[in-house]
A and B are shown apart, each in its own frame.
Chain A
Amino acid sequence: MSRIVAGPFNRVEGDLEITLDVEAGRVRRAYVNSPLFRGLERAMLGRPALDALFYAPRVCGICSVSQSVAAAAALAEVAAIRQPRNGELARNLLLATENLADHLTHFYLFFMPDFARDAYAAHSWSRGIRERFQAIHGTATADAVPARARFLHLMGHLGGKWPHTMSLQPGGTARAIEGGEKARLLKVIREFRRWLERHFFGDALEAFADLGSQSQLERWATRAAPSRADFGRFLGLAEALDLASLGRGPDRFLSYGTHWEAGRPLFPPGVWSEGTVHPLRLDRVTEDGARAWLAGGQRPLPPHEGVTEPDIHAGPDAYTWCKAPRLDGMTLETGALARQLVSGHPLMADLVCQSGSNVRNRVVARALELARVLPRMEAWVKAIDPAAPFRTPLPAALNGQGVGRVEAARGSLGHWVSVENGQIRRYQIVAPTTWNFSPRDRDGVPGPLEQALVGIPADGGDGGVAVQHVVRSFDPCMSCTVH
């Protein structure tokens, strides 16, 4: 058996190291190391409660708004306030903008460039794919980066800037939208729609969102325009390289639910396992620090009792700064695939039924979300009532516990906060990649990625392209993971 230590594992957000034990050319065991500790939770202790709106977005430069939404939601629960309809709509728009922009960034900048690498030079498709998707130099980068930047003008309008807005408040938004501004917002959304339909789908968003099964998807991908567009070219690669057989996770999925429309989530929360969606029990979430360089790992703790205290002498079993989150003791995969599956979309249900979670299905799920959410964004803008309130004021005194949950691009993000006399006493964050890139727990049960890498062909100084595809198919955000 040989060992590969792959890193710096780039084109992910933040630093990542993967250790692979390889036998007969395939991964026997994988260990995921999140090698950076900052300690953002500790930064908030003792601060006035609303300061969380300043610190939380700075946990992550790519999931910044998601962190803001979670912090604001946690404080809203402490304050026992609800936001008005306009606040809900503004939050949806900010969150959806970040999530969809992140899906685009993942596809074009992080994930697709691996198919342009020398390892594939012998394939007949290599030249064309390289021209389009090569990192930095590919024509797709030139097309996608400005499209993303223009779409993020919504952040300028609604949040002042991105990343690190403070517009999002527990009771709504500090940036009210006037009637005359709706046309401006719609123009940005429609421009992005046009871009996606021309370059990414080669079809109307609705046509893609309406696909209801794997066979429909396969038929769609053979049509002329979609087959030439960027997502269609990915589907071609997925078939040529059998990406549906790569990187199967635990096949249990977590979604906190997101995008609220009159109090109801567009994508409902739940836990999917063995074909059934179970209700989400947040009180069953624990984090285990047994394999992390952290003190106080005697037993798994619910986040409301959690602590984060670095201890570099934590013992020989420790190999990461990341805790191991579990729900009812189980590992769970989270992300767009989980969200779309739990929401009951027939295409996702059929794909997972046929091949579980894997590299191809994770990427398809993000495309599905682009197609489903962007039209809702147009509807949300239209639903804004410029004459109605955008924010519910906070009560003078804040005391108590709150949980803020949100679906970031990469999956379920939770903030657990305790406030005493207006000051933060405890703050615990469990981020999407904390779930997906969890280390082993005290019982030695590997996290979802550690499981997904087993059996994958591996070689060379970076583990080889198959390992790269599996890791990046999760769209990891290492900044959030340890925070």
Chain B
Amino acid sequence: MSATTREGAPEDALNVLWLQSGGCGGCSMSLLCADSSDLFADLADAGIRLLWHPAFSEQSGRQAHEVLLACLDGELRLDVLCLEGAVMCGPEGTGLFHVLAGTGRPMMAWVRELAAVARHTVAVGSCAAFGGVPAVGHQPGDVTGLQFEGDLAGGLLGPDYAARGGLPVINIAGCPTHPDWILETLANLALGELDARALDAFQRPRFYADHLVHHGCARNEYYEFKASAEQPGDLGCLMEHLGCKGTQAHADCNLRAWNGEGSCLRGGYPCVGCTEPGFEQPSHAVWQTPKVGGIPVGLPTDMPKAWFVALAALSKSATPRRLKENAVSDRRRLIPHVSKTEPS
């Protein structure tokens, strides 16, 4: 019998323990935005059982504490340990920036021990993956990801860590994560479809990280003709002036919509590359593209620089008036030519 009910997942379901540490809880909040008619039934039907989640579960205090202990002593099978938020190792390696409430022990210690018994370990969000925003302003080593600190392999668990199932930490990077990135990672683990080949160099699931944010961007026509926005809110491409990293950032944000039909670009602001390690501390103002000699420093991934410059110059010389004018406006001033009307 494959059907599950609201009473929960079948016996062989994947047992998931979810912990939160140095983060904002936004990845869990984003998960609740899943485009689903019944999120928790979807999880159960995918063969996923939540042992405990800090925002959703009934058990509080000692009952919750006991779930963690049961995982450690093997009484409960821990199939997936999910950590949301960075690992707080500071100050000075004590872990006292986050002592898990009611337990008197730093969360860092809980995570290290649970990761040692987990079949899979999953970093939910860029904080748990790489350290992320909470790492800014702290000493190196004080705030870190599970297996990376920024783009350096290591983190809390070390570069050689593998969970009992054989995989390194699975990094669902993003700030926040798209609900589907979490659901599909867990569902693929339950299916047995997620192996080492399914992860990229930063151990992100390739089903979303093999894309660039640029793919499917609604501003692509402006990009093609290098018709660039100058102010926040302008409709043009945000790459040349407004700091957009969509042509370099690995994610499918413009292929699968956020909250119905959104994306950062559709919201009028640049991609900050939130799935990339180090995005939290750009070397430039967030709203400004760093340039050398008038040319953006961060060119599109895989594009030879000379070709980009040559093509950009050519495109600019061919930019239709419609795009040139709309690019620096927050509303479409000119519309595409309609064949039955007189050309403008």
Q: CB-CB < 8 A to B65: which residues of A?
A: 8, 461
Q: Kindly report which residue of chain B lies nearest to residue A170, judged by CB atoms.
A: B232
A40: chain B residues within 8 A (beta carbon): 133-134
**Most chain B CB within a 10 A radius of its CB, from A36, A116, A386:** A36
Q: A135 touching B57 by the CB < 8 A rule? A: yes
A160 CB → nearest B CB, Å: 2
Chain B residues, CB < 8 A from A8:
54, 60-61, 64-65, 100-103
B30 within 8 Å of A by Cβ?
yes
Tally the A-B contacts, defined by beta carbons under 8 Å. Answer: 285
B286 touches A54 (CB 8 A): yes
Q: Are B262 and A155 in contact (CB under 8 A)?
A: yes
Q: Which of B83-130 contact A (CB under 8 A)?
A: 88, 91, 94, 96-104
Is A7's CB under 8 angstroms from B39's CB? no
Q: What distance in Å separates the Cβ of B187 from its nearest Cβ neighbour in chain A?
A: 17
Q: Which of A10, A45, A158, A159 contacts B59 (CB 8 A)?
A: A10
- Contacting A14 at CB < 8 Å: which of B6, B25, B32? B25
B60 touches A462 (CB 8 A): yes
Partner of B33, one of A149, A158, A165: A149
Q: Which of A1-29 contact B (CB under 8 A)?
A: 5-11, 13-17
Please tell me if A156 contacts chain B, counting CB pairs below 8 Å: yes
Query: In the complex where A15-B98, A152-B33 touch, is A10 in contact with B176 (Cβ < 8 A)?
Result: no
* Bound Cα distance from A148 to B29, whole angstroms: 11
Q: Quick one: CB contact mask for A36-72 with B, threshold 8 Å, 1 for yes? A: 1111101101011011011100111110100000000
Known contacts: A6-B61, A145-B39. The answer to whether A174 contacts B232 by CB under 8 A is: yes
Q: Residue among B21, B22, B91, B258 with the most chain A CB within 10 A?
A: B258
State A403–B337 Cα separation when bound (angstroms). 47
- Band of interface residues on B: 35 or more
Q: From the candidates B101, B259, B268, name the one contacting A156 in the complex (CB within 8 A).
A: B259
Say which one of A136-144, A218-226, A324-332, A429-437 lies at the interface with B.
A136-144
Q: Bits for A158-200, please: 1 = Cβ < 8 Å to B, else 0.
A: 1111111111010011111010000000001000000000000
* A146 on the B face (CB < 8 A): yes
**Is A176 within 8 A of B137, CB to CB?**
no
Minimal Cβ-Cβ distance residue in B for A63: B24
Distance in Å: Cβ of B341 to nearest Cβ of chain A: 19
Return chain B residues, CB-CB under 8 Å to A165.
Answer: 267, 269
Instruction: State whether A33 touches B101 (Cβ < 8 A).
Output: yes
Point out the residue from A15, A117, A293 that lies within 8 Å of B101, measured CB to CB.
A15
Closest A residue to B60 by beta carbon equals: A462
Q: Is the Cβ of B267 less than 8 Å from the Cβ of A166?
A: yes
Interface contact B63-A152, CB-CB below 8 Å:
no
Whether B72 is near chain A, meaning CB under 8 Å from some CB there, is no
Q: A156-B257, A157-B262 are in contact. List 11 more A-B contacts (CB 8 A).
A: A7-B103, A13-B25, A50-B286, A109-B32, A137-B40, A154-B259, A163-B29, A166-B269, A173-B233, A173-B268, A461-B63
22 A-B pairs within 8 Å (CB atoms) are namely: A6-B61, A8-B65, A15-B98, A35-B99, A38-B88, A48-B288, A50-B286, A53-B287, A137-B7, A141-B40, A142-B38, A142-B40, A152-B259, A160-B269, A161-B263, A161-B264, A162-B29, A162-B259, A164-B175, A312-B91, A312-B94, A479-B25
